[in-house]
């Protein structure tokens, strides 16, 4: 039975990866410092092949015994998180990736880095293909995340080239689903929470900026296909169905049956004006494409947040 270490295993995507690999008979170690992760996300996993270790991966990582796969998902991941946690965000992208790669080298494990569409910054090429180098402001407030992930990609490629570590890099575009934090400030939980509570939906800027939203089960399937493939260069995984944020607010209002008004707030600094993955490479190499339609994914997510709100949780 292969052993897999998932850093950030108590986070939104990390916990879905734990479910996925436990269900497929892997021995899973979830590691998380619980800065933005939550043990509630993995509390339902009762398998004896599952273990949680509370650890900050910017410090030396010790794991007893063999490890076949390492998925490095630890990082604050929402714009307000990295505004509040700029140093931790830089440290986990840089020092945390270094420690996780060091462990992969030691254990001869295959390593997969969770990278991001943020490496493309405010893109001047649309949609974004993997060979686009991006347009990132290194010294702006988002730079702490974008540059940490860009450094993490560079470090991953260096460990691959110099130490022969078997590596993969996934560039994850906006992903949504159950277990996002209601208060993490990202647009999906914000709008759904506001709509369900009858509060105004806060559209930043004029709402003409675009995003493309991928349901978490599609993302996890794409990540597994990439992990099991031979592809070392970065690969986009996301849903190309693009829409403006104003359209998105209206969809959320319809799907929740809410009468909340839409209000406009200042656009955060360096907020990308457009974002859409080109998934030609994932289609060709991995035979992957997203299956869950936005409406279906949002219904499941809204159901989840109704439960969270009715329990009075955050």
* Site track 211-240 with ligand UDP (rule: CB under 6 A), x = hit: x-----------------------------
Of 123 and 222, the one with the shorter C-beta distance to ligand UDP is: 123
- Report residue 166 CA to chain centroid gap: 21
Spatial distance between the Cα atoms of 190 and 18, rounded to a whole number of angstroms: 25
Q: What are the CA-CA distances from residue 130 to residues 29, 32, 209 (Å)?
A: 30, 29, 21
Beta-bridged to residue 116, according to DSSP, are 172
Spatial distance between the Cα atoms of 18 and 32, rounded to a whole number of angstroms: 12
Which residue among 49, 202, 229, 244 contacts ligand UDP (CB under 6 A)? Answer: 202
Contacting ligand UDP within 109-148 (CB under 6 A) = none
Six token digits for residue 72: 């490095």
* Site track 269-298 with ligand UDP (rule: CB under 6 A), x = hit: --x---------------------------
* Site track 62-91 with ligand UDP (rule: CB under 6 A), x = hit: ----------------xx------------
Residue 289 C-beta: closest distance to ligand UDP, Å? 21
171 binds ligand UDP (CB under 6 A): no
Task: Please identify which of the residues 20, 82, 120, 145 carries the catalytic annotation.
Answer: 145
Residue 210 C-beta: closest distance to ligand UDP, Å? 8
Which residue among 58, 88, 89, 209 contacts ligand UDP (CB under 6 A)? Answer: 209
The DSSP secondary structure of 64-93, one letter per residue, reads -S--SEEEE--S--SHHHHHH-HHHHHHII
Stretch binding ligand UDP (CB under 6 A), from 7-15, 18-26, 153-161, 182-190: 182-190
Stretch binding ligand UDP (CB under 6 A), from 35-43, 106-114, 146-154, 267-275: 267-275
Task: Based on the residue annotation, tell me whether 145 is a catalytic residue of this protein.
Answer: yes
Binding site for ligand UDP (CB under 6 A): 78-79, 174, 186-187, 190, 202-204, 209, 211, 245, 267-268, 271
| Residues with active-site annotation | 145
């Amino acid at each position: 039975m292969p052993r897999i270490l998932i850093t950030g295993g108590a986070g939104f995507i990390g916990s879905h990866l734990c479910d996925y690999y436990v269900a497929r008979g892997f021995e899973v170690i979830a590691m998380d410092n619980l800065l933005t992760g939550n043990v509630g996300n993995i509390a339902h996993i009762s398998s004896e092949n599952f273990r949680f270790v509370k650890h900050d991966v910017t410090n030396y990582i010790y794991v007893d015994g063999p490890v076949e796969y390492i998925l490095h998902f630890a990082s604050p991941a929402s714009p307000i998180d990295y505004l509040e946690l700029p140093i931790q965000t830089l440290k986990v992208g840089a020092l945390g990736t270094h420690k996780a790669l060091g462990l992969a080298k030691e254990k001869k494990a295959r390593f997969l880095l969770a990278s991001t569409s943020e490496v493309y910054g405010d893109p001047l090429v649309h949609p974004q293909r993997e060979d686009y180098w991006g347009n990132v402001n290194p010294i702006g407030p988002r730079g702490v995340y974008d540059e940490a992930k860009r450094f993490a990609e560079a470090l991953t490629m260096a460990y691959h080239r110099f130490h022969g570590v078997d590596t993969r890099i996934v560039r994850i575009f906006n992903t949504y689903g159950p277990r996002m934090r209601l208060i993490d400030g990202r647009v999906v939980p914000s709008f759904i929470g506001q709509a369900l509570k009858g509060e105004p939906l806060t559209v930043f800027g004029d709402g003409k900026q675009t995003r493309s939203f991928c349901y978490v089960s599609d993302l996890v399937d794409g990540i597994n296909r990439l992990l099991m493939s031979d592809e070392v260069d970065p690969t986009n995984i996301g849903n190309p169905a693009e829409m403006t944020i104003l359209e998105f607010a209206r969809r959320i209002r319809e799907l929740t049956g809410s009468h909340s008004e839409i209000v406009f707030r200042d656009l955060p600094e360096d907020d990308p004006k457009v974002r859409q993955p080109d998934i030609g490479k994932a289609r060709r190499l991995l035979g992957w494409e997203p299956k869950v339609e936005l409406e279906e994914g949002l219904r499941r997510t809204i159901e989840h947040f109704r439960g969270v709100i009715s329990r009075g949780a955050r």
